[in-house]
Structure 1
Amino acid sequence: MELFASIVGGLLIGGLYVAISLGFSVAFGVLDVVDLAVGMWVVMGAYAAVVVQDWLDVDPLLLLPLYFLFFALVGAVLAPLIYRVRNNRYAMPALMGLALTFGFATIFRGSLLTGFGYTPRTVRTGLANTSWNIFGLVLPAERVAGFLTAAVLTLAFAWFLYFTRSGLAVRAVAQSKENAGLMGVDVKRTSTLIYALYTGLTAMCGAVMGAIYAMTPELGPRYTLFAFFVVVLAGLGSIWGVLVTGLLLGVLQSLVSTFWSADYTLLVVFLSLFVVLLLLPNGIGNRRSVA
């Protein structure tokens, strides 16, 4: 029974990893940049909820749409910088893109440390210390609510990609920027749009994650590594692979924490990544594109 409960708990957390990594994967496909700030977007979303709970007399999770709008706006401001650096023909664009996003992550981390220090903070919600009995399993309400939120966000993002004209433009740019440009797609504008959606989505998930785990600014690199694990194991550009590997990551984390120690989570995660890539060098999704 403990094993089953651990697996279910891991699947609930894995839903959030799917939502975070999905945006990360699509943003990579469009911008051709591995965003090293992805973990800090998660942490900043959590700290935005902390600010709300400290300043306003309202449940922080009720304002999830506002976190999305705020961080999407921040992403829209930063996206042209990434686009310009990535399309610079007079330097190493891939390396410069990595350096720029690493710089973003460093600035975000330093700002949070200055404002909040090293003390772990948790987002307090009305679901705290509440459990729901689902099919005989007693599950923390925050995890169930987090999974449901992640499922809605993932479905909404998938609907955007596959059933809207803007989503079609995103998939076209991810396949071939040159061909998309020839067909009349504004590549720069599309890149800005997808980066804004990705940052807003990731920050929303971070706010929910902050209600489940205590957050510090130092956790940014950890979530960056988790997102990297999911996307690489899925196969770069594979949306359906992200769905599988995100849930797998949650289960691995839960099993290690339950039956071993949370201190060994990263060891097990990257050992699993090494073994799977030895057997499936192209990842689980065989590098299928976002199209």
Structure 2
Amino acid sequence: MAFRSVLNVTGSDHGDQDVRIAATLCAEVGAYLSVLVMSPPPLVMASPPLGDGIHEWPGQRAQAIARLEKRYRQIERFSQDMATLEKTAREIQTLLRAMWLCYDVDTDYCDQASVGDAVRQRALCADLTIVGPALLNDDHLGPSVVNGSLFDTGKPVLVVPKGAEATLSPRRVVVCWDSRAEASRAVREALDILSRAEEVRVTLVDPEPTCNANGAEPGADIAAYLTRHGARVAVDRLPSAGKPATAVLAQHAIDTSADMIVMGAYGSRRLRERLFGGVTRWIVGKPALPLFLAR
């Protein structure tokens, strides 16, 4: 599908790198850009009610003063974070205004547990969410953003690692195919990209011909589907030779001079919890290529 509405989530302390990447991609395809600037507060324990221990006054006077000082520091931190959040939002608006884009900029200050829901609400009304390198390297905010935008919406996410030359019009694309529903969803969401690419390499690692999964000729079915949509497709069936499938796919992307990898994201609890430290991040980290994910 064509991307007409794009969401980009960034942290208030991330600078403007991620927003610039998203803005450039939107300008490339004429898409509307929605930027969400987030500043989740640190996890803190709620202070006990001020009335606790009053009957023991003045014996608990020092503890009561300490609670008041702690609450004051929390309020002061909140004020500082809000000021930083608003300042970042104004700077992003200035940047996007100069790029002559159609855009909106919103802010959200919420606890860690609510980050995913805040992102999900906005990603549901976007065609694509772009995760830039600053957010990708934020272990505090990044996983919650990906969970909210990818796993909780069914919408695709484009992950752009550091050093990648991001484009929504890649010349060569590697599609990681294994006949699962998640891979099929990724192909469907990336159809606009794949149909305009000069070359699409449908890649399977150690495929086994079966009557109810890969078929008698693994990869032929999805290649035919893509061809009907105007894509120029080749099928690569690769042996793992004892290597992890991720290593084989990453090397193949390098060998074929791919500009993007398209793959399904699998929603197991383990992958959701370890997305940035697990298989997906490993693939992103090896070849510096944009990774198009869907499930």
Q: Under a length normalisation based on structure 2, what TM-score does the superposition of the two structures give?
A: 0.23
Q: Could you say which structure has the higher helix fraction?
A: 1
Task: Give TM-score, length-normalised by structure 1.
Answer: 0.23
Larger radius of gyration: 2
The structure, 1 or 2, with the larger RCO (C-alpha pairs under 8 Å, 6+ apart) is 1
